[in-house]
Structures are given as structure tokens and as C-alpha cells.
Structure 1
Amino acid sequence: MKNKPFLATLTLSASLFLAACGSAASDSASDSAATGADEPIKVTLGVVGEVNEPWDYVIEELKEKENIEVELVKFTDYTTPNNALAEGEIDLSSFQTEIFMDNYNKDHGTDLTTIGYTVMAPLGLYSEKITSFNELKEGDTIAIPNDVSNEGRALILLQTSGLIKLDPKAGLVPTTEDVIENRLNLQFRTLESNQTARALQDVTASVINSGMAVDAGFIPSEDAVFLEPVTEDSNPYYNVIAALDEDADNEVFQTIVEYYQSEGTAKVIKESSKGSQFPVWDQAE
């Protein structure tokens, strides 16, 4: 709660900056196409978090081989970049699962759409107090994200570990109200996704999204006390490159997708994430 005034100020400043940034990018692309000049085609891409090695690699490739200049616009939460994309302040985004985007569209009446798949980034349970989820005790508190898709995903993760049981009728979007068995009487603290890592000192464990965990200094494949398994049912949690529906067939955007979905990028993903993220574009086809 103490961070809200600061975040509000940051969001306002970012919005003002992005409005100019997105407009400039669109104008630059139009001018280059119209004149045939050698000026690079500029595209703004919204991401969440500071660590973006795969995109750094793709950006270099695009600039060298296609004269496309992609600027990363970094956000600290999962809602602001979708707002920016919906309002035309950025051109593309790459940070969210498809189910998260679908829920955003449903809640906001927007038309963001998938133009390419990127990675599966498993959700994890992390702790500064225990080294295994089996060490959780009666009445311990677990922090989980509070948005529809990530809260549901976090609870399904805990069910997979055997800690709780959920009402099957809730499908992929259960809430804490759908917990029908809780043998340890675990308590749940629902927080914004970018706050669950910060809550680690105050709770026994936190469910943290992969990118947020990396920014907090964790290596998911090594540090999670329980990590989401990757199975044939993981499709809703594939991360996507998103655009406005009207831009889905934009040739420049499709070129960006093509360069991301390459063997070179897959290698960078494997090395930079230390096996914590998995390319999924082949499985998604």
C-alpha cells in the first residue's frame, strides 16, 4: 500500500512519455515506407522487468539485417503495458500469457491479439524461510497474485503440489473461494503480481511470476521451492507477442515475430534463463 503514490506518479509519467514515443514510432514507420529512405523503421515494444536478453539479441539482429529498430519500453506491472498498447502508445508487447491477455480484453473491451508465441515461463513458489514446500506448517501464509488469471494459476500450482484441492467447476480461473480442501489451513494474501516477491519477508512463501522472480534475484529452476510443471496442458500459459487486432498482419511486426522465433533466440533463452524458460512457438503451431 505504501508504494501506491509513487507508482501512480510513475505510471502517469510513463503514460506521457509513451504517448509521444508511440506516435513518433508510427510516424517514423510511415515516413520511411513512403519515401523509401534508409532511415530505420522504428517500433516500440512493451516488456515487464529489466532482464530481456532474448529481446536484446533479436533487436541487434533486426537492426543489422532488416533496418528495423525496436525500442524496449519497460514496465513494472502487468496492466500498464496493455493499457499503453490498447491506446496506441506502444506498437507491440511481449510479457504476458495468452490467458492473461484474453481476460484483459474481456474486462476492458479491447482487441489485443496474439501475433506470435514466445516462451513458457513456469510460475514458482519461493520462500526465505523454508527450502521445500513440504516444510509448510499449519496456518502458514502464502502470497499469491490477485489478478484473475494469475490468481487461478497460482492456486492450480498449489493444488499440483498437493497442498490444496480446488473445485473442478472453477476451471482455469479459480479464486480462494474455490478451495475445497486445505489440510494445513494455509492462509492466502492476494497482492498485485509485482508485490508478491516483495512480500517474502512477511509471509512464509510467495507465488511469483518468472520475470518478477528473476528481477528479484532468483533463478527459477534452482531457487523455487516448487516450480510449475510444463505439460501438454500448459498452452494457456504460453507467453505471446501482442498487437492490436487491426495490426495483426503488419509485415514489419510479422518480421519481428519471425526473428524472435529463431534457433538463435532459442539458444539465448536457454542460456540466459538457466533452463527456467522454454521456447514454445513450435508447440503452439
Structure 2
Amino acid sequence: MQTTLTRLLGAATLASATLLAGCGGDDADTETRSIKVGTMSGPESEVMEVAVQIAPERYDLQVEIIEFTDYVSPNAALADGSLDANAFQHEPYLQSMVDDRGYDLTVAGYTFVYPIGAYSERHTDIADLPERALIALPNDPTNGGRAMILMHNAGLIELDDPENLEATPVNVVDNPNDFRFREIEAAQLPRVLPDVDLAFINNTFAQPAGLSLDDALIKEGPDSPYVNLIAVRSGDEEREEIQQLVSAYQSDEVAAKALELFDGGAVPGWE
């Protein structure tokens, strides 16, 4: 009796184990490969959406976009594991975040150059800027530095080191027209444009505000070193899903969408 009962229990246990194993196998077979990528809300997200459509078709990879409106949070989210990648910054800015905050992040691939330009609703020529003109700058170190270098190159000011990518108003050694500077969060610069004489605005934020790079009084050229990139945690740059995301992004379809949205103000950085 006991032997028969033991055999019955053993058979039932084996059957249950077989059933569970079968269920587990089905789950493994149907497991979805997916990653999360952070972008800036607006046209940059629209460009990424094209890559999101390509990824499952070509690589059986699902990509979820997480949108941000500031330049600090996407790297914090990547560093703490909330994201698998982000695509919003150029290498000098990434390096500044690594140096300042100790993030262990690196480059997985390149996206576009989004030139920065100086816009004005009060003046039509850079030579028209008056004495004590109020100039708005991005308040993050590297984009503020881009603006300072552009002003130096245009002869508006003189910097102590024009090669310093993180120059600020403190680095101005000659300001013959006594220009005043106001450092403002990059996303807010289009809103303050009516209240200042000149505002340096990344094309990422200029285009959604109806500003064309053609209207900028001064602007970066196509040889700008500020190529945006896809960043990941160090060690993940060779991860299959990341390389597939990069490949999906560096496609003709994505380049065409950026051309449409930025009207020539986005230059592919992988070509």
C-alpha cells in the first residue's frame, strides 16, 4: 500500500514537474527582447520613434522611449539602471557628467550634430547689438561653452582660452560692449527670447519653437565637434541589443526623418 502510494505521488510529482518545465519553456520561447532609451521630449523623440519602428522589424527588438525635458536626469537614470541607453548629448557633455558625478558611462554610437545658433527678435544683424545687450546662454557647462566660443570667434568678446569647451562668462577677459549674460536652462531659452537681445539656442529646442537655423545671427558650421551620441553604461556598448539599437538608428529612414523635422539642421554624425 505504502509502495503503491509512493509510486503514485512520484508519478504525480514528475507529471507536475514536466508540466511546469513545459510552461517555462514556452515562456522562454516567447520572451520579448526589450530595452529602454531616454531622449529629449520633442523632435529628438520623433526621430528615435523611427528607430523604434525599425528595431522589431529587423532585429526582433522592442524599444521603449522615456522622454525627458532636462539634460541632467537622462544620465542619472542611465547610471542607476532605469534606462539601457540614452540619446540626447554630445561627448563633451557626457565627459563633464562622468567627471563631475562619477558616472561609469560610455559611447555606443553616434547620432546627429544639432548646431547651436544665436537668435534675436530685436536685431537682424549681430553688428546691431547695443551696449550692455542682454545675452541668454544655456546653463549647462558644455553648451554654454559652445556659445562663449561662438561669440569669441565672432569678435564679440575675448576668452582667456578659446579652446576651453566649458568656458563661462567668468572666462571673458575683454568685453568691449559690456554685454550682460544670463544663464538659463536650455529648454527655456526659446521662451525668454522676446526678453533678451540675443539667445543661444540648441537646434533641438529652436526648431520646435519655430526658429530656423537659417535665421540665426551666428551659428556653428558643419564641422562642429559636438556630435550627439547614444550613451550606455560601460561594458554595455557591445551588448547585442545596444548594437541593434545603434544600427536601427544609423539608418537612411532615421536620417530622412531628421532632415524633415530639422530642415537641414541635423547632420548625421555616423557618415
Please give the range of the TM-score, normalised by the shorter of the 2 chains. Answer: 0.7 to 0.9
Instruction: Say which one has the larger Rg.
Output: 2
Identity of aligned residues (%): 36
Q: 60, 63, 67: which one pairs with 2:60? A: 67
- 1:113 partnered with 2:102: no
1:170–1:178 CA contact under 8 A, matched in 2: no
Residues 106-130 of structure 1 show CA distances to partners (whole Å, capped at 9, x for unaligned) of: 1101111110001111011112212
Match of 1:150 in 2: 143
Instruction: Give 1:195 shift.
Output: 2.4
Q: 21, 29, 54: which one pairs with 1:36? A: 29
**TM-score calculated relative to the size of structure 2:** 0.85
2:152–2:162 CA contact under 8 A, matched in 1: no
* Structure 1: gaps spanning 5 or more residues: 1-30
Q: Which amino acid aligns with 1:155?
A: M
RMSD over aligned CA atoms reads 2.1
* Structure 2: gaps spanning 5 or more residues: 1-23
Match of 2:244 in 1: 255
Instruction: Give 1:152 shift.
Output: 1.0
Q: 222, 228, 252: which one pairs with 2:214? A: 222
Q: Distance between the aligned counterparts of 2:155 and 2:222, measured in 1?
A: 17
Match of 2:39 in 1: 47
Length, aligned pairs only: 247
Match of 1:279 in 2: 268
2:92–2:165 CA contact under 8 A, matched in 1: no
Task: Could you list the structure 1 runs, at least 4 aligned residues long, displaced by more than 3 angstroms after superposition.
Answer: none
Instruction: Give 1:189 shift.
Output: 0.7
Which segment is superposed worse, 166-175 or 54-63?
A: 166-175
Residues 127-156 of structure 1 show CA distances to partners (whole Å, capped at 9, x for unaligned) of: 221222222111100010122211111101
Residues 62-116 of structure 1 show CA distances to partners (whole Å, capped at 9, x for unaligned) of: 1222221211111111001111111111111000011001000111011111100
Which segment is superposed worse, 128-137 or 72-81?
A: 128-137
Q: Distance between the aligned counterparts of 2:117 and 2:164, measured in 1?
A: 20
Instruction: Give 1:169 shift.
Output: 6.8
Q: 167, 183, 206: which one pairs with 1:213? A: 206
Q: What SS class does the counterpart of residue 136 from structure 2 fall into? A: strand
Q: What SS class does the counterpart of residue 42 from structure 2 fall into? A: coil
Q: Distance between the aligned counterparts of 2:166 and 2:136, measured in 1?
A: 17
Higher RCO, Cα 8 Å, sep 6+:
2
